[in-house]
Structure formats: structure tokens, C-alpha cells
């Protein structure tokens, strides 16, 4: 494994976007060139879709006045547990991914049955309430943009069974995700859609869809971080 200083040299940092007092968001383009994640119906890898959406998200966040740092593996993967080190002082980590389904469904030719976004948070993150609040803001904006959540990851089957925290908004608890669990800041992972579904993959690859999704996620993040009480109970306010 490359040393951490070499891994961190692979960061693509855009920390100058927005004024110094603005919220700072670490945007993680999930996976990397060595382990590129899921493979879409066309054969294009998830990592490439993640990079496209992450870049658009950085632009959308900057347009709202936020500071951003984008992290992705260039030439080598960055382990999930080390991705937050790209900007450990960030106010929020947003990890961007695209989905597949379990091999049993692919073997049965059922990939076209699955579509929609999913959002994950870890209750083992140091800031679970803030993470969940931002996930809810993102889910609300995703639905306002016309996206619908998938229930697939809550299915009681091997490899899934990720319980819903908020079924309406498509938010799941998943404590096993190192990128969320080990981040020192609140953290959310967004599966933008199911690229193994041919129709969904085509839609997710269109520039207009990427822009619309990026704006929805950015609006949710911005609204969450602009609210100092997001994630607090009434008794703590």
C-alpha cells in the first residue's frame, strides 16, 4: 500500500472556492482506478460516474458560496478510512457512489427491476445526529428534483439488510462503511442511482441529469450546514 503522504498527494483540492468563513465540504469521488466499484450495464465503471458527479457537485456547492475539497484516487486508490484526511477540518463529508445489485439478481436477469437513489449514514460516526440531519436535507432535495429512493438495500437478504432510518427519504443506517464511520466530521454517502439497470445508467450519464443531481445534493448540504441547529434535539438548543 502506498504511504499516506503519497496517497494524500493524489487529492484534487478546490479549497479556495468560496469565502474563508463559508462552510467547508469534503466531496469524495468513491472508489478509484484500481478497484473501480460497480460496473454499469454498458461496461463503464462506477468510478467514472462518481468522478463526473463529484466534479459537478463541487461546482454546485461553490456556486452557493461554499468552500470545497474534492478527493479521488488518481493513479492509485485511497483507502476509505483515509479519505477524510484530505480535509480533516471540513464541516461535512459527502461520498458519491453509483449502485449495482447482488449477483443473484444479475444472474436472474433482473437488473432492470432496480432503480433509485439511496443515502447512508453511520451511527458510529462521531456526529450521527448531524449526519442524519444532512442526509434528510439531501433526500428532500433529491425528491424535489424528481428522484425516487430505492428500497433495495433494506431487503432482508445476504449482503443487504441495511435498515431504514427514514424510508420516505431513502436513508439507511450502515455502520460498516469505513468512509462514514471513521470520518471525524459528519458524513453522508449518496448512491445516486443503479447503473447496472441499462435505462437508469443512460439517464445517469446525461449531463443534464448530472447537473440536476449535483444541484439537489448541493442545496441539501447548503441548507443543512446553514442551520446551526440541524441535528440537535429541542432539549439541546
How does pLDDT run across 47-93, given as a tens digit for each residue? 999 999 999 999 999 999 999 999 998 878 899 999 999 999 999 99
- Residue range 203-227, pLDDT digits in tens: 999 999 999 999 999 999 999 999 8
- Residue range 173-206, pLDDT digits in tens: 999 999 999 999 999 999 999 999 999 999 999 9
Confidence grade of residue 236 (pLDDT, cut at 50, 70, 90):
very low
Q: What percent of the chain has pLDDT over 90?
A: 73
State residue 195's pLDDT score: 97
Q: What is the mean pLDDT of the chain?
A: 89
The pTM assigned to this predicted structure is 0.89
Question: Based on the number of CB atoms within 10 Å of its own CB, is 13 exposed (0-12), middle (13-18) or buried (19 or more)?
Answer: middle
Confidence grade of residue 4 (pLDDT, cut at 50, 70, 90):
very low
CA distance 153 to 159: 9
CA distance 161 to 201: 24
State residue 18's pLDDT score: 52
CB 146 within 8 A of CB 213: no
State residue 21's pLDDT score: 67
Containing H/E element for 188? strand 187-194
In this predicted structure, the answer to whether residue 121 has a pLDDT above a threshold of 60 is: yes
Question: Based on the number of CB atoms within 10 Å of its own CB, is 164 exposed (0-12), middle (13-18) or buried (19 or more)?
Answer: middle
Confidence grade of residue 22 (pLDDT, cut at 50, 70, 90):
confident
In this predicted structure, the answer to whether residue 1 has a pLDDT above a threshold of 50 is: no
In this predicted structure, the answer to whether residue 141 has a pLDDT above a threshold of 60 is: yes
Cell representation of residue 127: 456526529
**Closest Cα to residue 44, out of 200, 201, 192?**
201
CA distance 125 to 117: 22
Q: Which residues pair with 190 in a beta bridge?
A: 96, 119
DSSP β-ladder status, 67-71 and 24-29: parallel
Half-sphere exposure of 34 (CA within 13 A, CB side): 10
Other Cβ atoms closer than 10 A to 47: 23
State residue 27's pLDDT score: 98
CB 119 within 8 A of CB 172: yes
Amino acid at each position: 500500500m502506498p504511504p499516506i503522504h503519497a496517497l494524500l498527494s493524489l487529492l484534487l483540492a478546490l479549497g479556495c472556492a468560496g469565502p474563508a468563513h463559508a462552510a467547508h465540504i469534503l466531496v469524495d469521488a468513491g472508489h478509484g482506478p484500481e478497484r473501480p466499484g460497480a460496473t454499469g450495464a454498458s461496461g463503464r465503471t462506477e468510478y467514472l460516474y462518481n468522478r463526473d458527479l463529484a466534479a459537478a457537485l463541487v461546482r454546485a456547492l461553490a456556486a452557493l458560496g461554499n468552500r470545497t475539497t474534492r478527493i479521488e484516487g488518481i493513479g492509485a486508490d485511497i483507502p476509505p478510512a483515509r479519505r477524510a484526511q484530505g480535509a480533516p477540518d471540513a464541516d461535512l463529508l459527502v461520498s458519491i457512489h453509483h449502485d449495482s445489485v447482488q449477483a443473484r439478481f444479475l444472474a436472474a436477469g433482473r437488473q432492470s427491476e432496480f432503480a433509485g437513489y439511496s443515502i447512508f449514514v453511520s451511527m458510529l460516526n462521531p456526529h450521527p445526529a448531524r449526519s442524519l440531519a444532512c442526509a434528510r436535507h439531501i433526500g428532500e432535495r433529491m425528491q424535489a428534483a424528481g428522484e425516487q429512493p430505492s428500497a433495495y438495500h433494506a431487503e432482508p437478504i445476504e449482503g443487504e439488510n441495511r435498515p431504514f432510518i427514514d424510508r420516505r427519504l431513502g436513508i439507511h443506517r450502515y455502520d460498516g462503511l469505513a468512509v462514514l464511520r471513521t470520518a471525524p466530521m459528519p458524513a453522508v454517502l449518496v448512491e445516486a442511482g443503479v447503473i447496472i439497470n441499462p435505462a437508469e445508467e443512460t439517464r445517469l450519464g446525461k449531463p443534464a441529469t448530472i447537473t440536476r443531481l449535483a444541484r439537489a445534493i448541493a442545496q441539501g448540504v447548503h441548507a443543512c450546514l446553514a442551520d446551526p441547529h440541524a441535528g440537535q434535539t429541542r432539549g439541546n438548543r
